[in-house]
Chains A and B, each alone.
Chain A
Amino acid sequence: MNWLTNFVRPKIRALVSRREVPDNLWMKCPSCEAMIFHRDLEESLHVCPHCGFHMRLDPMRRMKMLFDDGEFQTIELPKPAPDPLRFRDQKRYSDRLREAQAKTQAFDAIRVAHGRMNGMPVVVAAFDFAFMGGSMGVAVGEGILAAARLAVLQEAPLVVIPASGGARMQEGILALMQMPRTVIAVDLVKEAGLPYIVVLTDPTTGGVTASFAMLGDIHIAEQGAQIGFAGARVIEDTIRETLPEGFQRSEYLLEHGMVDMVVHRHELRLILIRVLGLLCRPAPAAAVVPLTPVTIGPPADPTEPQAAVEIPETSDHDTQQPAESANAPQPPGHQPAVESPAGQPPVA
């Protein structure tokens, strides 16, 4: 109640908060607990430089890392009426929504963008786990539908990158209905003869896995991601057994035939480019570049297709560039997770 507390302290606080808080400069790896400098973390696409642990990535960073030169156009998504059931638990759903919107600066848990990948037009829909656990309600369903329709319109492949705990309980049955709706969406893309690729990231579970996420032409899983239908705790409660080591992790799904490959995040862009190129541009290639990012050294031997990705000619686009100069980051001294570019999955 004096001059000091009422005026000086707030001012000092304002001065302090304007400076960057040291907490944001360093981050502790949740896996190996090493401290990582924020710039290093950005550079490594939120993969721990020490142990290779893949942290969750927000949709805008995802898009930036995937599209040529980090350039893309997000599209405005339909905004369905929020809180259709006027749902309330210990908290109002409408309040939870507002908080999530303030936190993520997004309308809901999905972003859709179009851009080019190695010159090819591609539509990407990416989930934001930070928005209510990436849960799927009407808005997310509308986002997937919008992405699918855009892909069909642009005759572009669709890449969906879920990171979701499943259906959004607070939208009740309407959330459940997003399962058939998103299945219809991806079937629209498939029926148009366009590739539909799913990049499964940590975590992908519940109603999201049990709908569009398991219906891709090709399933690519980021390493170490949790992917499954039922939650681990629910399973343990049901069977009263402890779960096997690595249960519901990407590598486990690969072994059980549910995904085509497990990749390191640093390989993702190049793998997508190669897969989409093979599916969309069956014509012979004009140039051959190595699959694994190489900065220096001799060009790859074109007679050895096992170590190369083919980049065909594009007359309709002028931004084509060799993969080396594309904005794929260099993996800081790690072994590529995908070791057999001939299309065979890596041996776990």
Chain B
Amino acid sequence: MQTFLEFEKPIAELEGKIEELRHLTGDANINIADEVGKLQAKVDRLLRLTYAKLTPAQKVQVARHPGRPHATDYIDALIEEFTPLAGDRLFGEDRAIIGGIGRLQGRAVVVIGQEKGNDTESRVLHNFGMAKPEGYRKAQRLMALADRFHLPVISLVDTTGAYPGIGAEERGQAEAIARSIEVCLKIKVPVVATVIGEGGSGGAIAIAAADRVMMLEHAIYSVISPEGCASILWRNAANAPDAAAALRLTAQDLKDLQIIDRIVTEPIGGAHRNPAETIAALGVAIEAALREFDGVEPGTLRSRRREKFLEMGHKGLS
């Protein structure tokens, strides 16, 4: 069952017509194939037009689309010999952040990814991708492991934000995020981070202080959710679309501000229309990013990473 976003309604209607026509085969109408072809061309054109100029608020919807590929999908398709690793060795195992070792095109890597889940059961299991301190401490552990064995780190960011709860606060959510940022910046192996869906504030930067930061074309990355921002600054969550625009949270704005290094193009109609193609494109992009660091001296790598972040903020919107 495909989920259509509100602004996709005209597209959904056309596709519904195509479906209906296909079911009319019994009538042996020769013109059906012709008609279907025409409608399909119309759908393609409409998709292209719609997705070429999504508003920031629409991008927020696309970034959160339930049919969008999640971290697990990328790992399943791209990482061979994937060996999940669990636990922070301090308190527990947090499935909001999955991680492990495996190979990307033959190269051994450490993978860390935020997983939202894709049905009720898996969403609960992964706590909707909202990590607790355990998740960030597991990430730290895996990054330290990568450092020790000279394995590059691939990080997949997709979270609304770190989990706000009593236990999370008691166990030091802030410290866990701060330390995770510190470890990202300290290790001497390449770190390539990609925002595949939602890059939600501190919960995202905790695993994204990377040598290369990429975003999928319709992903978002922000200091606060548009809803949260609207309820504070507009005193009304209904102003979320205004906040989405004001926050400059699209991949295109972030590239312009030199916060991210690269935008990875999504298939026409968004990643949820063609997950396999999206996953393959990101695989190629990550591999290319890793290749750039081959032969770079570890100390140089780390100091360049620092320099890159220290440079940020000197450039406003053009």
Contact A169 B224 (CB under 8 A): yes
Contact B223 A173 (CB under 8 A): yes
Contact B259 A183 (CB under 8 A): no
List B contacts of A84 (CB < 8 A).
Answer: 257, 313, 315-317
Q: Does any Cβ of A come within 8 Å of B8's Cβ?
A: no
List B contacts of A164 (CB < 8 A).
Answer: none
Contact A238 B234 (CB under 8 A): no
Interface stretch (choices A242-250, A265-273, A292-300): A242-250
Per a CB cutoff under 8 Å, which of A141, A231, A239, A258 touches B166?
A239
Q: Residues on A close to B: CB < 8 A? A: 80-81, 83-90, 138, 141-142, 145, 167, 169-181, 183-184, 187, 206-207, 209-215, 228-231, 234-235, 238-239, 241, 243-244, 247-248, 256-258
Tell me the complex Cα distance, A213–B163, Å.
19
Tell me the complex Cα distance, A174–B309, Å.
11
Q: Which of A167, A229, A241 has the most chain B CB atoms closer than 10 A to its own CB?
A: A229
Tell me the complex Cα distance, A228–B232, Å.
18
Task: Tell me, rounded to whole Å, the shortest Cβ–Cβ distance linking B312 to chain A.
Answer: 5
Contact B185 A210 (CB under 8 A): no
24 pairs, CB–CB < 8 Å, chain A vs chain B? A80-B314, A86-B316, A88-B246, A142-B313, A167-B202, A172-B249, A173-B221, A173-B223, A177-B312, A180-B184, A180-B309, A183-B181, A183-B185, A183-B209, A184-B306, A213-B178, A215-B175, A228-B169, A229-B177, A230-B164, A235-B164, A239-B164, A241-B166, A258-B172
- Given that A85-B316, A211-B181 are contacting pairs, would A244 and B166 also be in contact in the complex, using a CB cutoff of 8 Å? yes
Per a CB cutoff under 8 Å, which of A170, A176, A178, A181 touches B201?
A176
Per a CB cutoff under 8 Å, which of A181, A183, A230 touches B173?
A230
Please name the residue on chain B nearest to A205 by beta carbon: B174
- Given that A145-B310, A173-B249, A258-B175 are contacting pairs, would A238 and B223 also be in contact in the complex, using a CB cutoff of 8 Å? no
Tell me the complex Cα distance, A97–B101, Å.
47
Contact B169 A141 (CB under 8 A): no
The 8 A-B residue pairs with the shortest CB-CB distance in the complex, in nearest-first order: A84-B316, A230-B164, A209-B174, A89-B233, A229-B174, A210-B177, A138-B313, A214-B175
Contact B222 A181 (CB under 8 A): no
Contact B248 A85 (CB under 8 A): yes
Q: Does any Cβ of A come within 8 Å of B150's Cβ?
A: no
Within 8 A of A (CB), among B155-169: 162-166, 168-169
